[in-house]
Amino acid sequence: MNILRIKYFVDVANFKSFTKAAQHNYVSQTAVSQQIASIEKELDVQLFERTKGKVELTPAGKSFYEDCIRFLHEYECAVSKAKQIFNENSGTISIGFLTATKMGYLYDVIRIFHKQYPNVKVKLVQSSFSSLRRQLESRELDIGLAIRYNLEDIETVQLSSLTRMKMGLLVSRKNPLAQRREILAAEVKQEPIVMISRQFAGKVYDHMIQQRRKEGYEPNIVETADSSEILTMLVEMNRGSAFLPEKLATYNEAQCKMLHIVDNDDNAEYTIAWQKDNASQAVHQLVKCIKSFFENEFETWAEQNSNEL
């Protein structure tokens, strides 16, 4: 006996008609009748009473029908579970992260993740603040890593804080300030500032300006850039200095230096975002691995991979 025969039997019982069961399965009535006859012969039991054009289950047929319903349900559950396991152990998870941000820790995270999901590919997508948000909204990304205020109000994603990043001032080695390790917020007042444009920075742009105003001055923005790469290039050329996270910013140490702003309370909340309705256990496991890294290893990793201040 096979699944198809059982399904034909259940459909005949439900429709109380060989004709309707055949139509439902897109086969001939003869094919259905032959399959039912084969079951009855195999079991040596009459399953249906056929009188005056009516089809009714016999007492033995009713008992067999109830068991077949349970069997088909268990079979469907088994198929669903097998497909889920297959899907969990294959496919691709896309992670979006910001340009000019140190992401080397992801190699360790992915290595740990692959011990449990060796066949799941992890795709890394480098994006600007605004494009990362758009990619999360359009579900192009399964996971996003960015500053919280640029990810808030996306209804489809779940947010979880990873760490707080203190903002420093990146200056050119040609800048006289590069002789120092620390600086006061008030000393930045007259410093020419370069920033990523509002179009590409999104809410980060407005936050930076608001933070400077909290510190008592209007930032002297002399130029804007359309990418983090251009921003750091402008700093290298000494066209201006830039506010960037001390622990995660990437830059050319030979050309630039990160200054610690002693009295600056600008602490950006670095956040992980993932799609709320994504039921993939692999995605949730990868999120868990990233969160675990920040809880237990990030500070040590950041210290080992820090640019010299």
Per-residue pLDDT of 134-172, as tens digits, reads 999 999 999 999 888 888 888 899 999 999 888 899 999
Residue 116 included in any domain: yes
Residues 182 and 214 in one domain: yes
For 105, the token pair is 């820790």
Residue 139 included in any domain: yes
Predicted pLDDT of residue 307? 55
CATH of the domain at 59: 1.10.10.10
For 247, the token pair is 């622990």
Given a contact cutoff of 8 angstroms between Cβ atoms, the answer to whether 250 and 105 are in contact is: no
268, with CB counted inside 10 A (0-12, 13-18, 19+), is buried
Residue 258 included in any domain: yes
Residues 79 and 99 in one domain: no
User: Residue written as tokens 């917020």?
Assistant: 185
Residues 136 and 186 in one domain: no
Residues 188 and 278 in one domain: no
- Taking alpha carbons only, the member of 241, 246, 293, 298 closest to residue 267 is 246
CATH of the domain at 201: 3.40.190.10
Given a contact cutoff of 8 angstroms between Cβ atoms, the answer to whether 117 and 285 are in contact is: yes
Residues 142 and 280 in one domain: yes
Residue 190 included in any domain: yes
Q: Which of 87, 112, 141 lies at the terminal end of a domain, its last residue?
A: 87
The Cα 123–Cα 128 span in angstroms is 16
Residues 188 and 44 in one domain: no
Q: Provide the domain count of the chain.
A: 3
Given a contact cutoff of 8 angstroms between Cβ atoms, the answer to whether 10 and 65 are in contact is: yes
CB-based contacts of 84-89 (< 8 A; 24+ apart in sequence): 87/280, 88/117, 88/120, 88/280, 88/281, 88/282, 89/117, 89/118, 89/119, 89/120, 89/282
Residue 35 included in any domain: yes
Q: Which of 32, 60, 87 lies at the terminal end of a domain, its last residue?
A: 87
The Cα 33–Cα 49 span in angstroms is 13
pTM strictly above 0.75: no
Residues 274 and 259 in one domain: no
Q: What is the residue range of 114's domain?
A: 92-163+269-304
Regions in the chain scoring below 70 on pLDDT: 1, 84-90, 306-309
Residue 309 included in any domain: no
* Packing angle of the helix pair 59-88, 3-15 (nearest 10 deg): 130
Sign of CA dihedral 226, 229, 232, 238: negative
Predicted pLDDT of residue 309? 40
Predicted pLDDT of residue 88? 61
Residue 221 included in any domain: yes
Residues 174 and 259 in one domain: yes
Residues 158 and 273 in one domain: yes
Residues 157 and 12 in one domain: no
Residues 238 and 210 in one domain: yes
Predicted pLDDT of residue 93? 92
Predicted pLDDT of residue 241? 96
232, with CB counted inside 10 A (0-12, 13-18, 19+), is buried
Per-residue pLDDT of 52-68, as tens digits, reads 778 899 999 999 999 99
Q: Which of 61, 87, 113 lies at the terminal end of a domain, its last residue?
A: 87
Residues 64 and 192 in one domain: no
DSSP string, the chain: --HHHHHHHHHHHHHT-HHHHHHHTTS-HHHHHHHHHHHHHHHT---EEEETTEEEE-HHHHHHHHHHHHHHHHHHHHHHHHHHHHHHTSSEEEEEEETTB--THHHHHHHHHHHH-TT-EEEEEEE-HHHHHHHHHTT--SEEEEEGGGTTT-TTEEEEEEEEEEEEEEEETTSGGGG-SEE-GGGGTTSEEEEE-HHHHTHHHHHHHHHHHHTTS--EEEEEESSHHHHHHHHHTTS-BEEEETTTB---TTTEEEEEETT---EEEEEEEEETT---HHHHHHHHHHHHHHHHTHHHHHHHTPPP-
Residue 112 included in any domain: yes
The Cα 12–Cα 135 span in angstroms is 49
